[in-house]
């Protein structure tokens, strides 16, 4: 594999770890649910989920360890997806029965899929087009793109408020960056799902999918970092642009 491709995956892994831990520490201070949900979402889908599943792929010579890695990865990933779904519902659409129904459906789907693995004890993917793997990935894509859409819609409202002096420029930018981060992460994963369905080969075995996933992962990492751990110079740039 081209080493440059690893940069994207590594960036996403490291940034998600930093942001996720930071959000967990924030939750310890505030004890507010959105902080906890975002932390679980970022850590579960990113470093813990993806990291454990990658470990499973790399340790197939030790089937027991590999299976356990996949198990931990899938549980973490499912937790992350559900947390993101609950975040989307409770933050953006609290009074929406439809959003609540979608969240309950996602929970039932993920729990059902996990239950199947618990029953048969097999957590490693069984090959391309494994319906459970595609269902899980599709659910993840849907939740990420839902969150991205909501954040971008709210960003458009916040820009209008900012023009009237009602919104802080850094918070306005946070909606944009999170929208982009979740969007690129969702789109990158979605591309892999579609490629797997069309080509009939596990997505991580398709070179251009791996390259694109790395690219989308890198962009998502940059956006998520700027959203939640913006450097002082970036904040100064945002505020300066707002004053202009």
Partner 1 sequence: MADSLFEKIAEALEASTSLSRLEARGTLRLACKEAGVDTKNASAHHFEVVLQKLMPNELEARGIPDAAGVCETLATAARELGAASESGGDSPEDIFGRLGG
For position 18 contacting partner 1 by CB under 8 A, the verdict is: no
For position 154 contacting partner 1 by CB under 8 A, the verdict is: yes
Helix (H) or strand (E) holding 112: helix 97-120
For position 17 contacting partner 1 by CB under 8 A, the verdict is: no
For position 26 contacting partner 1 by CB under 8 A, the verdict is: yes
Comparison of 9 and 27: residue with beta carbon closer to partner 1: 27
Comparison of 53 and 176: residue with beta carbon closer to partner 1: 176
Contacts 24+ apart (CB under 8 A), 120-123: 121/67, 122/67, 123/56, 123/67, 123/68, 123/70, 123/71, 123/74
Q: How far is the CB of 113 from partner 1 (least distance, A)?
A: 29
Using CB under 8 A as the binding criterion, the count of chain residues that bind partner 1 stands at 32
The stretch among 27-35, 73-81, 111-119, 139-147 that binds partner 1 (CB under 8 A) is 27-35
Identify whether the C-beta of residue 81 lies closer than 8 Å to the C-beta of residue 44.
yes
Site for partner 1 in 84-123 (CB under 8 A): 91-92, 95
Comparison of 37 and 210: residue with beta carbon closer to partner 1: 37
**Closest Cα partner for 49 from 89, 22, 2, 12?**
12
Residue with tokens 């929208």: 179
Comparison of 81 and 169: residue with beta carbon closer to partner 1: 169
| Helix, strand and coil in the chain, % to nearest 5 | 85, 0, 15
Round to whole Å and give the CA distance between 214 and 216. Answer: 6
Member of 105, 118, 171, 236 binding partner 1 (CB under 8 A) = 171
Member of 31, 61, 97, 166 binding partner 1 (CB under 8 A) = 166
């Amino acid at each position: 594999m081209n080493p440059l491709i690893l940069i994207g995956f590594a960036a996403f892994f490291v940034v998600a770890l930093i942001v996720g831990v930071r959000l967990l520490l924030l939750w310890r201070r505030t004890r507010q649910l959105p902080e906890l949900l975002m932390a679980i979402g970022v850590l579960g889908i990113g470093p813990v989920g993806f990291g454990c599943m990658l470990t499973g792929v790399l340790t197939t010579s030790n089937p027991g360890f590999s299976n356990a890695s996949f198990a931990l990865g899938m549980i973490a990933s499912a937790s992350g997806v559900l947390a993101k779904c609950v975040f989307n519902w409770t933050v953006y659409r609290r009074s929406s029965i439809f959003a609540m129904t979608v969240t309950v459906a996602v929970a039932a789907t993920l729990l059902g899929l996990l239950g199947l693995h618990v029953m048969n004890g097999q957590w490693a993917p069984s090959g391309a087009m494994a319906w459970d793997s595609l269902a899980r990935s599709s659910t993840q894509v849907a939740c990420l793109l839902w969150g991205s859409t909501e954040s971008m819609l709210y960003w458009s409202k916040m820009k209008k408020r900012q023009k009237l002096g009602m919104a802080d420029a850094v918070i306005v930018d946070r909606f944009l960056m999170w929208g982009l981060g979740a969007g690129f992460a969702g789109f990158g994963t979605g591309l892999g799902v579609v490629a797997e369905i069309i080509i009939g080969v596990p997505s991580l075995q398709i070179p251009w999918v791996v390259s694109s996933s790395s690219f989308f992962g890198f962009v998502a990492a940059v956006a998520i970092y700027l959203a939640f751990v913006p450097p002082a110079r970036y904040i100064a740039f945002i505020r300066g642009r707002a004053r202009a």
